[in-house]
Structure 1
Amino acid sequence: MANGTWEIVERSYGCKTVGCKWVFKKNLRPDGTIEKYKARLVAKEGEDFFDTYSPVARLTTIRVLLSMDVKTAFLNGELEEEIYMEQPDRFVISGQEGKVCKLLKSLYGLKQAPKQWHEKFEKILTSAGFIANEADRCVHYRYGVILCLYVDDILILETSLNLVKEVKDFLCENFEMKDLGVADVILNVKLLREDDCGITLCNKTGYLVFVSKLSRFVSNPGDGHWEALERVLCYLKGTSSYGIHYFGYPRVPVGYSDSNWISDADKLKATSGYIFTLGGGAVSWKSCK
C-alpha cells in the first residue's frame, strides 16, 4: 500500500477479479542461519495480459564485486491492463468489505510483472546514459561501471568507489533500495575472497553428469546403480570445499571443445561439449548429446 500499488474501488457490474495470497520465506545468511523472515503478497496470475517475456541475466555474466537489492521490484512496473484484485486476507478494510483493489502497478504473481519491471528499469538506466548490452539485455554499462540485473538483484562491477557511490545514489533516487555491500552469496552460490588471490565460487556442477546417468534407472535400480550412487555421495563429500577460482589471469577468454563417437550405444548418439575460461576459471560450459 505504501508503494501505491492499488486503490480501493467499488466492484462494478461484471467485474472479474484475481485472487491473492501471502507467501512466506526465510532469508538465510552465508553460514545457513536465518537473517530475516519475509512476507510477500502475490496475485494469482489472471487472464488480462499482453506480453509476458522478460530477459534474465545469464549466469556466465554474473561475476561481481558489489550487490544491491531492489525492494519489491515488481511493484515498480506500470501496468498496461486494467486489473482488479480481491482485498488481501486479514487486511480487508472495515466497512468496505464489498470493494475490490484496482491495481495501479504490477504485482508479484501477475504474468506480466517481470516484463513491466524490466522495461521500467531499462528506461531509467537509459535516461542516465547507460547502454544495454546486445548479447545480454540485463547488462548495462557506462563510464567504467557495469550493472547486471537478475530479477530484483543488481550486481555492480566498477573500477572506482566514487563511481559506485554515484550509481547507488542514482538508483536510490528512483527505487527503494537496500545496499547489501560486498556480495558474499549470489543465487545461492557462495563467494570466497582471498587477499590478492582472487575469488572462488563454491559452485558444484560436475555431479549433474552423474545425476543424468543414474536418473535413467530410477524405476528399476539394481545393485550396480546403488554402488554407483554411493560413489557419487563419497565424491560429493570429499569435494565439498572445491570451487571455481578466478585469479584474474589470463584476461582473454580461452575455449575448449571435444566430442566422442556414439557413447550411448542404445540410442546411437554422440556426446559433445565445450568450456570457456576467463581469469583462470570456467565461466561457460555445456555438454549435450
Structure 2
Amino acid sequence: MTINQWKLRQLDVNNAFLNGHLDETVFIEQPPGFEEPKQPTHVCKLNRALYGLKQAPRASFQRLSTFLIVLGFQNSRADPSLFIYNHHGVLIYLHVYADDIVVTGNNEKFINMLTSRLHKEFKIKDLGLLNFFLGLEVTHTSSGLFLNQSKHAYDILSRAGLLDSKSVSTPLTSKDAFTTQGQPFHDPTLYRSLVGALQYLTITRLDLSYAVNQASQFLQQPTTTHFQLVKRIPRYVKGTLSQGLTFDRPPNTVLLGFSDADWARCLDTRRSTYGYCIYLGGNLVSWSAKKQPTVSHSSCESEYRAMANTAAEIIWLTNLLSELHALPQTRSTLLCDNKSALFLSQNPISHKRAKHINIDYHFVHELVTSGQLDTKFISTDQQVADIFTKSLPQPLFDKFRSMLRVGPPPSLH
C-alpha cells in the first residue's frame, strides 16, 4: 500500500454472523417468549446462522467469499482471508477479519462500486479512511502510515496499577533471566492476564517481543520472581507510550531478512532462543522471537535452524507478494552473523558432518543453490535480530529499536 500510496478504506458488516447460510442441519429450542403453545415440545430448524453458534463464523465467511469470487476476486492461497481482484488494469486487495473489512487498490471508482454491491448484499457500513482496526490506531502521513496501540498500552498500565510508577529504559535488564526457581505466585490469573495483554501489544511494539516471549513460557506456574520481571515491561511501556511502527514509501521492494540465535539461552532446558525480522524495501513486514523446540549441539546448529525458519518465512512472503502482483525482481537476501552457519548453507560437502541436524532444515542450501535466496554475513553490531534473542544493554537496545522502525509518531520526530 505504501509503495503505491493507495488509500485504505474500512468497511463494517452489520450483524455479520447472521448472514451465513447453514449447510448443516441444526435445531434449537424454542426461544423464550416465542414458544408455540400448541406444540411446546417442538424445536426450531435453523436456516441461517445465529450468534453463539459454532458454525456461524465459517458460514458467514463462506457466503462473503462466494460473493467476492462471483465478482471476480480470487482467494489468496498464502492468506485465506485475503481476496485479490486483477482485471483490465484494476488491482484491488480486500482483507476480511470477522465483521471488519479493509480494502485498497488502484481504482477508487471500482472500490466505490464494490462497496455499493457489498452494501446491497450484506448491509455494509462504509467507515471511510482506515483509522482504527482491531485495537490498532492508524495514522496516515504524507509518506505512509504510522501504527500504534497507545490506548491498549494505557489500559495495560491501568490494569497493572502502574500508572504512577517510574518508567525504565528497557523491558528487561541484561542480567534478568526467567527460570523455574522461586515461590509460586499467589494469583496466576493476574499474571496470565497481564502477559496476554502484552502479547497483543507486540503487534506494533516488537521491541517487547523477547521479554514477552520469556514471560509467556511460565504461564502455567508463574513465580513471584516472574511477576516482578513482568511488571518491569509495563514500566518500560509507560516511558514509550506513544511509540509505534512506521511504514514509509520505500525506495525499492527488496526482501531482506535478518536471522539470529542465542545458543542454550534457556537455563532450565538449554534450548536456544532465535529471532528474525524481514524487511520489504526498508519497511518491517514480519518478525518473530521464539525458543527452539529441541536442544542444539552447537551455536552453528542453533543459528542454522534459525536461518531455516527465516527462509521459510521469506518463501511464504515471496508467494504472497507474487499473488499480490508485487514480487520483487531481485532475489531475497538472508543475513546472519555466524560464518559456520553460512558455510553450512552454501557448501553441501559440510552436510556430512552435520547429519544430526534434521534433514528438513537443509532446504536452505537448496534455496541458495536454486538462486531463490542469497545468504550473506553481517557483523553482530548490525544484527538487528539480536533484539529478539536476549535482553540487551540500553545503547544497543535503542539502536536496534530504531532499526526496527519503532519510535514516536512522525509529528513528534
Report if TM-score (shorter chain) is over 0.5.
yes
How many residues get paired? Answer: 223
Partner AA of 2:256 in structure 1: V
Q: CA deviation at 1:219?
A: 4.0
Q: 106, 130, 150: which is aligned to 1:159?
A: 106
Residues 79 and 104 in structure 1, CA contact (< 8 A), matched pair in contact too = yes
**1:258 aligned onto 2:248:** no
Match of 1:232 in 2: 233
Root mean square deviation of aligned Cα: 2.6
Match of 2:152 in 1: none
Partner AA of 1:282 in structure 2: L
Q: CA deviation at 1:278?
A: 2.9
Match of 1:83 in 2: 26
Match of 2:283 in 1: 281
Match of 1:40 in 2: none
Q: How high is the sequence identity, in percent, across the aligned residues?
A: 31
Match of 1:139 in 2: 82
SS, match of residue 224 in structure 2: coil
Instruction: Give the 3 Å change call, closer, same or farther, for CA 135–229 of structure 1 in structure 2.
Output: closer
Residues 275 and 289 in structure 2, CA contact (< 8 A), matched pair in contact too = yes
**1:169 aligned onto 2:140:** no
**1:213 aligned onto 2:160:** no
**1:102 aligned onto 2:21:** no
Match of 1:181 in 2: 128
Q: 86, 92, 113: which is aligned to 2:56?
A: 113
Residues 209 and 288 in structure 2, CA contact (< 8 A), matched pair in contact too = no
Q: CA deviation at 1:115?
A: 1.8
Q: CA deviation at 1:104?
A: 1.0
Segment of structure 1 superposing worse, 141-150 or 113-122: 113-122
Partner AA of 2:224 in structure 1: P
Instruction: Give the 3 Å change call, closer, same or farther, for CA 64–96 of structure 1 in structure 2.
Output: farther
Q: CA deviation at 1:265?
A: 3.0
SS, match of residue 80 in structure 1: strand
Residues 138 and 149 in structure 1, CA contact (< 8 A), matched pair in contact too = yes
Question: Hey, what's the Cα distance between the residues in 1 that align with 2:113 and 2:98?
Answer: 22
Q: CA deviation at 1:267?
A: 0.7
**1:271 aligned onto 2:273:** yes
Instruction: Give the 3 Å change call, closer, same or farther, for CA 259–208 of structure 1 in structure 2.
Output: closer
Instruction: Give the 3 Å change call, closer, same or farther, for CA 284–115 of structure 1 in structure 2.
Output: same
Segment of structure 1 superposing worse, 235-244 or 205-214: 205-214
**1:242 aligned onto 2:220:** no
Match of 2:144 in 1: 198
Instruction: Give the 3 Å change call, closer, same or farther, for CA 185–280 of structure 1 in structure 2.
Output: farther
Question: Hey, what's the Cα distance between the residues in 1 that align with 2:26 and 2:245?
Answer: 46
Residues 250 and 283 in structure 2, CA contact (< 8 A), matched pair in contact too = no
Residues 95 and 102 in structure 2, CA contact (< 8 A), matched pair in contact too = yes
Match of 2:368 in 1: none
Structure ranking higher in strand proportion: 1
SS, match of residue 21 in structure 2: coil
Name structure 2 gaps, 5 residues minimum: 1-5, 149-203, 292-413
Residues 145 and 247 in structure 2, CA contact (< 8 A), matched pair in contact too = yes
Match of 2:34 in 1: 92
Name structure 1 gaps, 5 residues minimum: 1-62
Q: CA deviation at 1:243?
A: 0.6
Residue-by-residue CA offset, 1:142-172 (whole Å, 9 max, x unaligned): 1211111111211101123212111111212
Q: How does 1:15-54 map to 2 (within 5 A)?
A: none
Match of 2:9 in 1: 66
TM-score (norm 2): 0.49
Partner AA of 2:45 in structure 1: K
Residue-by-residue CA offset, 1:65-109 (whole Å, 9 max, x unaligned): 1110111222222112222223444x4368578354321112222
Question: Hey, what's the Cα distance between the residues in 1 that align with 2:210 and 2:71?
Answer: 44
Residue-by-residue CA offset, 1:111-170 (whole Å, 9 max, x unaligned): 222222222112111111111111112111112111111112111011232121111112
Q: CA deviation at 1:271?
A: 1.4
Question: Hey, what's the Cα distance between the residues in 1 that align with 2:38 and 2:22?
Answer: 25
